[in-house]
């Protein structure tokens, strides 16, 4: 009997070891990044948008409901996510420097996989092209082969949009007949074609792959197939629930959406700078086109995932879906990104891990059948693997590495410019093993945005490094968003924690839209004194956390909250 018990125990231990090895075996990675996509997806509770393919992915994945970008603009956010370093470490706040020579020779997420035997590939907009990635998308450091960019993208900023006068313009609203476009295609269609071709080329290879696919939409201009507008009849569109600039919003916090203003169709509206509202009928059309662009991008994601299934790769490939930042659709009287509001910093973050978030399928069964968004059937998202606590895009690098079977980078020291491989984020692997027991009010997401002045300027949205005078740092917890706008020296890259230009505090239980700033001048003076009294060895994030806890504790006492 004892011998039998020992055999049973041995078999149980052996089974546990096998399960652990299988769970940690190296898997392929399909890393999908959308451009300017806020959480306007069915799986994030937006009942208007039609995103059946991403929702299908989410139904078999772990969905992080509260994921935040570190800076709401393309190049800084992508560089931060792919190096797992915050913008104050990459020192990239604009599009005009390459981190390897500007701040430190940091290892990137794909480079980490490449160094461990993966074949790494890039399609579309993954790194921000240009100076920010050394005009090579960081090849050959990050990629095994040169990055692919769709040929039709060179027409994106040209006059391709037919106006009411029958002529072509460089418009914001740019629904087109694809057959009339150069090559009869559009950038995201080309990127999907190339990504599918690469998947086919790797399907029979023994070497694991890391394929990153960056879709350009819903980034402006809204050059999309015109048929997608039919999904969103204009008479069914609504304005943002809070379309006015909040009365107590500090002027420095407002972004004047200059890239919108520069488009031909918007210039014709003669909107006053900086607060002049866009006419309501045009606001509705912007929202219509944004949603249509999301559905168009969703169809490309569906094509890609369907190919993954058809090639028998869905059981051996982790799929990560994210965006670089969000996009304002008229909330607070703002458009585009360029701010610290949730609509600009909050992003979708979805992890599909075979055998972990979903059971492994037989090869003949399609894990991700393509769903036609134009079909009459209604698609819904159902999933109990949802994480509500705060996470950040800097968490992606260590989490993807660990869940794919590699070692996650170690946490960075306070000063890490000389450290090639480390992370400013957290490894979220524990969230896949244990069900979330409740919301952790202590968890914090940390974002920032630079400004050239205390009032809106023509370069407020995207100031060059040399013009940055103030940096707005935001702490986002479950209960509050707390922001301090602090003096910044772009020559020394130093923030002056006692030079408080303005503050914002939004109590989210009563004000989920972040419309009522309850930060006051007395708070301003108190914060300056408290900041000055803290030890200078503390990191800015820790300083702000202590200030935040002090301030909110006072507010809880005054309002009777617990």
Report residue 153 as tokens: 């993208």
Three-state DSSP state, 387: strand
What average pLDDT does the segment 440-453 reach? 91
pLDDT of residue 394: 98
Instruction: Give me the residue label for tokens 């100076």.
Output: 131
Q: Return the closest-CA partner of residue 415 out of 85, 192, 145.
A: 85
pLDDT of residue 497: 87
CA gap 16, 11 in Å, rounded: 9
What average pLDDT does the segment 373-393 reach? 83
Angle, helices 280-310 vs 187-202, to 10°: value is 20
pTM (predicted TM-score): 0.92
pLDDT of residue 435: 75
Report residue 522 as tokens: 């007395």
- The C-alpha angle with vertex 170 and arms to 167 and 173, in degrees rounded to 5, equals 95
Active site residues: 74, 128
546 confidence band (pLDDT: 50, 70, 90): confident
CATH tag, 28-559: 3.40.720.10
Q: For residue range 301-347, what is the model confidence (pLDDT) as tens digits?
A: 999 999 999 999 999 999 999 999 999 999 999 999 999 999 999 99
Strand partners, 63: 350, 386
Contact 403, 318 (CB under 8 A): yes
What number of other Cβ atoms are within 10 A of residue 100's Cβ?
16
For residue 438, report the phi and psi dihedrals to the nearest 5 degrees. Answer: 170, 170
Burial of 345 (0-12, 13-18, 19+ CB in 10 A): buried
pLDDT of residue 559: 43
- Beta-sheet strands, E only, within 477-554: 480-489, 494-507
CA gap 95, 311 in Å, rounded: 38
pLDDT of residue 440: 76
What average pLDDT does the segment 34-44 reach? 97
Q: Which residues contact 282 (CB under 8 A, 6 or more apart)?
A: 266, 269
What average pLDDT does the segment 212-237 reach? 98
pLDDT of residue 275: 95
Q: Return the closest-CA partner of residue 524 out of 454, 442, 428.
A: 454
Is residue 557 scored above 70 in pLDDT? no
pLDDT of residue 14: 39
Q: Mean pLDDT score of the chain, rounded to an integer?
A: 90
Percent of residues, the chain, with pLDDT higher than 90: 79
pLDDT of residue 520: 86
What average pLDDT does the segment 31-54 reach? 96
CA gap 327, 349 in Å, rounded: 15
Calculated CA dihedral for residues 523, 529, 535, 541, nearest 10 degrees: 30
pLDDT of residue 553: 57
Instruction: Give me the residue label for tokens 């794909």.
Output: 110
What average pLDDT does the segment 516-530 reach? 75
pLDDT of residue 552: 59
550 confidence band (pLDDT: 50, 70, 90): low
| Structural domain spans, the chain | 28-559
What average pLDDT does the segment 375-382 reach? 72
Is residue 484 scored above 50 in pLDDT? yes
Report residue 529 as tokens: 């004194």
Give me the half-sphere count of Cα atoms (radius 13 Å) on the Cβ side of residue 357.
30
Q: Which of 62-76, 288-302, 352-366, 490-504 has the lowest mean pLDDT?
A: 352-366
Q: Which one-letter DSSP state was computed for residue 487?
A: E
Instruction: Give me the residue label for tokens 């402006």.
Output: 220
pLDDT of residue 23: 41
Q: Which residue has the higher pLDDT, 550 or 413?
A: 413
The shares of helix, strand and coil residues in the chain, as percent rounded to the nearest 5, are: 35, 20, 45
Report residue 538 as tokens: 């503390």
Percent of residues, the chain, with pLDDT higher than 70: 88
CA gap 317, 116 in Å, rounded: 16
Q: Which residue has the higher pLDDT, 513 or 376?
A: 513
Contact 431, 387 (CB under 8 A): yes
Is residue 244 scored above 70 in pLDDT? yes
Q: For residue range 180-216, what is the model confidence (pLDDT) as tens digits?
A: 999 999 999 999 999 999 999 999 999 999 999 999 9
For the chain, the C-alpha Rg in angstroms (whole number) is: 24
Q: For residue range 350-370, what is the model confidence (pLDDT) as tens digits?
A: 999 999 998 776 544 678 999
pLDDT of residue 361: 62
248 confidence band (pLDDT: 50, 70, 90): very high
What average pLDDT does the segment 296-303 reach? 98
Beta strands 62-68 and 28-34: pairing type? unpaired
């Amino acid at each position: 009997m004892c011998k039998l018990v020992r055999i049973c125990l041995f078999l149980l231990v052996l089974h546990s070891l096998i399960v652990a090895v299988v769970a940690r075996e190296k898997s392929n990675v399909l890393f999908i990044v959308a451009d300017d996509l806020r959480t306007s997806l069915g799986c994030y509770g937006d009942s208007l948008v039609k995103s059946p393919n991403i929702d299908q992915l989410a139904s078999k994945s772990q969905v992080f409901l509260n994921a935040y970008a570190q800076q709401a603009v393309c190049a800084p956010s992508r560089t931060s996510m792919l190096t797992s370093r915050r913008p104050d470490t990459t020192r990239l706040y604009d599009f005009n420097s390459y981190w390897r020579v500007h701040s430190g020779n940091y290892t990137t997420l794909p480079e980490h996989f490449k160094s461990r035997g993966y074949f790494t590939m890039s399609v579309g907009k993954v790194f921000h092209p240009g100076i920010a990635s050394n005009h090579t998308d960081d090849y050959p450091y990050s990629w095994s082969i040169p990055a692919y960019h769709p040929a039709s993208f060179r027409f994106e900023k040209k006059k391709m949009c037919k106006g009411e006068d029958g002529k072509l313009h460089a418009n914001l609203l740019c629904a087109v007949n694809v057959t009339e476009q150069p090559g009869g295609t559009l950038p995201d269609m080309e990127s999907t074609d190339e990504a599918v071709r690469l998947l086919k080329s790797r399907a029979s290879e023994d070497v694991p792959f890391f394929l990153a696919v960056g879709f350009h939409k819903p980034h402006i201009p809204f050059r999309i197939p015109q048929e997608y507008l039919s999904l969103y009849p204009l008479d069914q569109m609504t304005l943002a629930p809070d379309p006015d600039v909040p009365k107590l919003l500090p002027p420095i916090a407002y972004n004047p959406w200059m890239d919108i203003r520069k488009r031909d169709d918007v210039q014709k509206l003669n909107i006053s700078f900086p607060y002049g509202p866009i006419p309501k009928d045009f606001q509705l059309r912007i929202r219509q086109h944004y949603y249509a662009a999301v559905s168009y991008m969703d169809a490309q994601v569906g094509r890609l995932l369907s190919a993954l299934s058809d090639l028998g790769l869905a059981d051996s490939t982790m799929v990560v879906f994210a965006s670089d930042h969000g996009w304002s659709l008229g909330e607070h009287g703002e458009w585009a990104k360029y701010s610290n509001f949730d609509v600009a910093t909050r992003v979708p973050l979805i992890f599909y891990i075979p055998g972990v978030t979903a059971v492994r399928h037989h090869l003949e069964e399609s894990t991700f059948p393509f769903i036609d968004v134009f079909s009459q059937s209604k698609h819904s998202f159902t999933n109990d693997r949802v994480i509500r606590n705060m996470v950040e895009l800097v968490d992606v690098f260590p989490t993807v590495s660990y869940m794919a079977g590699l070692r996650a980078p170690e946490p960075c020291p306070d000063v890490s410019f000389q450290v090639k491989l480390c992370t400013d984020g957290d490894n979220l692997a524990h969230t896949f093993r244990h069900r979330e027991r409740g919301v952790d009010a202590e968890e914090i997401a940390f974002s920032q945005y630079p400004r050239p002045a205390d009032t809106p300027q023509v370069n407020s949205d995207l100031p060059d490094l040399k013009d940055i005078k103030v940096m707005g740092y935001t702490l986002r917890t479950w209960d509050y968003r707390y922001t301090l706008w602090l003096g910044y020296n772009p020559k020394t890259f130093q923030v002056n924690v006692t030079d408080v230009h303005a503050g914002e505090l939004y109590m989210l239980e009563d004000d989920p839209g972040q419309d009522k700033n309850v930060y006051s001048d007395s708070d301003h003076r108190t914060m300056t004194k408290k900041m000055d009294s803290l030890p200078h060895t503390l990191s800015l994030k820790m300083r702000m956390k202590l200030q935040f806890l002090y301030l909110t504790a006072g507010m809880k006492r005054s309002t009777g909250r617990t």
